[in-house]
């Protein structure tokens, strides 16, 4: 049986819960707009774009019929229409959630401002099959 491992939906849901929905979450849906997109600058601010760069296979079984682990790479981009400090604060809080989920920072945070204030960072984690089931 061949299947493809993926954590995209679980990670996006967990990030959304921790930032917007859980008791004590730092934002509300009205105060932070989240999107799972690579389509550029958001239209509502402040915003956090969650871009799934890839989920590459890293440990297939010998018969090549099953993935045993994947490497998940995610880029977060925080946007503000008022200040770089606000974008930095959003990225800090989102980064804390990513680190709590076992991700490591592999790039950034860095200023990627164009017409709006924006900060970006990339995160990576290896997930084994059982890690995903227990996430």
Owning domain of residue 111: 8-133
- Please list the pLDDT of the chain residue by residue as tens digits (135 residues): 446 788 999 999 999 999 999 999 999 999 999 988 766 778 889 999 999 998 888 876 667 667 788 999 999 999 999 999 999 999 999 999 999 999 999 998 998 887 789 999 999 999 987 787 777
Q: Return the CATH number at 44.
A: 3.30.2000
pLDDT on residue 1: 41
Cα atoms found within 13 Å of the Cα of residue 83, Cβ hemisphere only: 4
Tell me the C-alpha distance between 19 and 97, whole Å.
8
Distance CA 34, CA 51 (A): 11
Q: Is residue 3 part of a domain?
A: no
Q: Is residue 2 part of a domain?
A: no
Is residue 68, in this structure, part of any structural domain at all? Answer: yes
User: Taking the CB of residue 101, how many other CB atoms lie within 10 A of it?
Assistant: 19
pLDDT tens digits, residue range 52-78? 998 888 876 667 667 788 999 999 999
β pairing state of 117-128 and 33-35? unpaired
Residue 71 domain-assigned (yes or no): yes
Our count of domains for the chain comes to 1
């Amino acid at each position: 049986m061949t299947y493809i491992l993926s954590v995209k939906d679980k990670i996006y849901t967990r990030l959304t819960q921790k930032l917007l929905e859980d008791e004590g979450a730092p934002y509300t849906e009205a105060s932070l707009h989240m999107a799972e997109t690579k389509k550029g600058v958001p239209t509502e601010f402040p915003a956090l774009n969650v871009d799934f760069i890839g989920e590459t296979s890293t440990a297939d079984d010998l018969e090549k019929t099953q993935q045993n682990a994947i490497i998940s790479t995610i880029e977060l981009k925080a946007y503000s229409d008022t200040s770089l400090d606000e974008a930095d604060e959003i990225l800090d809080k989102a980064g804390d959630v990513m680190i709590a989920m076992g991700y490591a920072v592999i790039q950034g945070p860095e200023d990627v401002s164009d017409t709006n204030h924006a900060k970006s960072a990339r995160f990576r984690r290896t997930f084994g099959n059982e890690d995903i089931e227990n996430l």
